[in-house]
Each structure stands twice: as C-alpha cells, then as structure tokens.
C-alpha cells in the first residue's frame, strides 16, 4: 500500500509510542487526525512536528472511557481530512492488579478504554469504508492495533489489562476475517519498549538485561516502523508481530 496521501487516525497519538507512530505516518506521506485525551500541549507539539514533514494534521480530544466521545472520532477525521483510510488503535491504560484484587470499577474502566473503544472505532471505520468504497481493494484501508506481548505468556500481574489486550488480539483476527478483502487488520504486540512514565531509561535497560533474550529494550521508533510495514504489505492481514526481543517466547 502506498501511504502517500492516506488519511490516518491515531488514538493516543500525541505522546510516547503513539507520537512515534504519528510522526512515522506523517513522514510516509499520510495526513493525520491525532487523537489525545489529556495531553493537549504535547498534541500541539506532535502536530507541529508532523506538519513540518508536509502532513495535514488535525487534533481531536476524546475521553475513550466515554462511548459517545469515542463515536466522535471517526466523524471528526472525515470532516477534517475528507475521509479516513487508516486506523491505529494505540491508546490504552495499564493498571496493575491480580484476579483477586481487581475491583469491578477498575475492570470496567480498563475494558472501556482498551477494548470497547477500539471495537467502536473499528466498527465506525469499517462502516465508513464500506459506504465510500464498496469495491474490493486491498490497498485502500487498514487497521493496526497495538497489543502487549505479555498476552502470550499468562501471569498474575495486570490481570484485567492482559484480558483487554487478549481481547484486542481476538478482535484483530476476527475483524481480519470479517473485513476482508477491502480492509486489512493487523497488530504489533510490544515488549519492553519505553519505561513506565516517570521511570528513567535505566529501568528498562536493567529489565532488558535480566528478562529479554536479545538483552536490549525496543524503541517507540521500532514500533512505528513495524506499524508502517504492516500498513504497506497488501498480503498481510490477521498478523501480529511480536516486538519483544524474545521476552515472551
Ligand atoms: N510502553 C511500553 O513499553 C509498552 C509495552 C507493551 C504495550 N504497550 C502498549 O503500547 C501502547 C502505547 O503505550 P505507551 O507506553 O506509549 O502508553 P502511555 O504512555 O501510557 O500513553 C497512553 C496513551 O493512551 C491515551 N489514553 C489513555 N487513557 C485515555 C482516555 N481515557 N482517553 C483518551 N486517551 C487516553 C493517552 O492520551 P493522553 O496522554 O492524551 O491522555 C496516551 O496517549 C498502549 O496500547 C500500550 O498498552 C506499551
């Protein structure tokens, strides 16, 4: 798929991993709707950087825990960019908690943000695509979901979070079936990419030395390169790239 002139929506596209994806898509020639929640200042800065590589950029804030707010995102992309060709579901929250100590309210919140929002966005995106481009064209539209490679090795930590990412993995494969041949749906499952907000880079270096077979952390730029790869390859759908240095083999 030639990304030049494609119109992309990136959730959580203002900061960290989402920011790197926004900038890589802008560099590849896409126009962008950068969705953000609270990061208004960083969103302006990311938009400015993306604009400098020639992209048309619009910003849109929406609380992903609010279904009506989520439903505003694809229409905002259509209004601002004339249509939407690519959807990147990157935004998520990462609450800790085991099976025994996860309160229902926390469960609900992480499911709403990490799984219900990508579901609603995928549905709105697919309906938009089917309305504007009913002819089958595998080069026309694609979704990439950002997963967590933890889902491939179950453990007690981040219990509800893991379930949301497992659900998003299932959504990726199910949607790949349902939305073919005109919309491809793929995913990247991340390992140690960036330290949790507030932790120094050494946090991740130490973790990589002890847990990652390749003995190094990844990077937000590597995530973005893999997203671009999945978008460009017209024979890939239902694929999840594990970007974890072998950590969760
Ligand atoms: N960092 C890693 O090493 C790593 C590892 C495995 C998987 N991942 C996955 O990679 C993706 C990005 O990770 P990250 O570390 O860059 O995430 P992050 O720094 O925690 O950022 C979370 C993003 O989600 C958005 N967000 C969260 N709750 C929201 C809400 N209620 N409404 C609107 N937006 C909301 C935030 O937007 P605002 O800041 O604008 O509010 C922000 O852009 C996530 O899906 C994560 O699960 C990351």
Q: What is the 3-state secondary structure (H, E, C) of 12-77?
A: CCCCHHHHHHHHHHHHCCCEEEEEECCCHHHHHHHHHHHHHCCCCEEEEECCCCCHHHHHCHHHHH
Task: Give the per-residue pLDDT at 102.
Answer: 97
Q: Which atom of ligand 1 is nearest to the CA of 190?
A: 6
Q: What is the rounded CA–CA span in Å between residue 93 and residue 95?
A: 6
**With contact defined as beta carbons under 8 Å apart, do 117 and 68 qualify?**
no
How much distance in Å is there from the Cα of 210 to the middle of ligand 1?
Answer: 25
Mean pLDDT of all residues belonging to the chain: 96
Per mean pLDDT, which range of 28-42, 80-94, 124-138 is the poorest?
124-138
SS3 (DSSP) at 85: coil
How much distance in Å is there from the Cα of 17 to the middle of ligand 1?
Answer: 7
Residues 202-247: pLDDT tens digits? 999 999 999 999 999 999 999 999 999 999 999 999 999 999 999 9
Q: Which atom of ligand 1 is nearest to the CA of 192?
A: 3
Following DSSP, what letter does each residue of 125-175 receive, concatenated?
HHHHHHHH--S--TTSEEEEEEEEGGGGS--STTHHHHHHHHHHHHHHHHH
Q: What share of the chain in percent tops pLDDT 90?
A: 94
For the segment 37-54, the average pLDDT, to the nearest whole number, is 97
**With contact defined as beta carbons under 8 Å apart, do 241 and 169 qualify?**
no
Task: Give the per-residue pLDDT at 92.
Answer: 98
How much distance in Å is there from the Cα of 133 to the middle of ligand 1?
Answer: 31
* DSSP structural state of residue 215: S
What's the token pair of residue 182? Answer: 């005109």
Q: Which atom of ligand 1 is nearest to the CA of 13?
A: 43
Q: Crossing angle for the helix pair 159-179 and 117-132, nearest 10 degrees?
A: 10
**With contact defined as beta carbons under 8 Å apart, do 30 and 3 qualify?**
yes
Nearest to 59 by CA among 15, 111, 4: 15
pTM: 0.98
Residues 113-145: pLDDT tens digits? 999 999 999 999 999 999 987 666 667 899 999
Per mean pLDDT, which range of 135-144, 155-164, 175-184 is the poorest?
135-144
Task: Give the per-residue pLDDT at 113.
Answer: 99
Task: Give the per-residue pLDDT at 188.
Answer: 99
Q: Which atom of ligand 1 is nearest to the CA of 38?
A: 41
Task: Give the per-residue pLDDT at 197.
Answer: 86
How much distance in Å is there from the Cα of 235 to the middle of ligand 1?
Answer: 29
Task: Give the per-residue pLDDT at 136.
Answer: 63
For the segment 77-91, the average pLDDT, to the nearest whole number, is 98
Mutation pick for ligand 1 pocket among 9, 12, 226 (CB with most ligand atoms within 8 Å): 12
The count of other CB atoms within 10 Å of the CB of residue 131 is 10
Task: Please list every protein residue whose CB sits less than 6 Å from any atom of ligand 1.
Answer: 12, 14-18, 36-39, 63-65, 90-94, 113, 146, 148, 190, 192-194, 197
Residue 201 above 90 pLDDT?
Answer: no
How much distance in Å is there from the Cα of 57 to the middle of ligand 1?
Answer: 20
Mutation pick for ligand 1 pocket among 41, 65, 91 (CB with most ligand atoms within 8 Å): 91
For the segment 163-184, the average pLDDT, to the nearest whole number, is 98
Q: What is the rounded CA–CA span in Å between residue 192 and residue 206?
A: 11
């Amino acid at each position: 798929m030639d990304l030049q002139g494609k119109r992309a929506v990136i959730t959580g596209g203002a900061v960290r991993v989402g920011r790197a994806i926004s900038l890589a898509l802008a560099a590849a020639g896409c126009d962008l709707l950068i969705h953000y929640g609270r990061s208004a200042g960083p969103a302006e800065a990311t938009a400015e950087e993306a604009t400098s590589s020639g992209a048309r950029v619009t910003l849109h804030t929406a609380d992903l825990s609010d279904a009506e707010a989520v439903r505003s995102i694809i229409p905002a992309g259509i209004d601002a960019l004339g249509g939407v060709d690519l959807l990147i579901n990157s935004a998520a929250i990462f609450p800790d908690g085991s099976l025994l100590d996860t309160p229902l309210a926390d469960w609900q919140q992480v499911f709403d943000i990490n799984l219900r929002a990508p579901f609603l966005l995928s549905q709105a995106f697919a309906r938009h695509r089917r309305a504007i481009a009913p002819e089958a064209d595998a080069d026309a539209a694609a979704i990439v979901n950002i997963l967590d490679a933890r889902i491939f090795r179950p453990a007690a930590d981040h219990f509800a979070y893991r379930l949301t990412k497992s659900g998003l993995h299932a959504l990726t494969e199910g949607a790949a079936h349902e939305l073919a041949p005109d919309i491809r749906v793929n995913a990247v499952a991340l390992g140690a990419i960036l330290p949790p907000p507030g932790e120094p880079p050494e946090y991740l270096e130490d973790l990589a030395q002890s847990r990652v077979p390749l003995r190094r952390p990844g990077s937000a730029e590597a995530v973005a390169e893999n997203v671009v790869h999945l978008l460009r390859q017209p024979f890939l759908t239902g694929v999840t790239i594990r970007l974890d240095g072998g950590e969760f083999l």
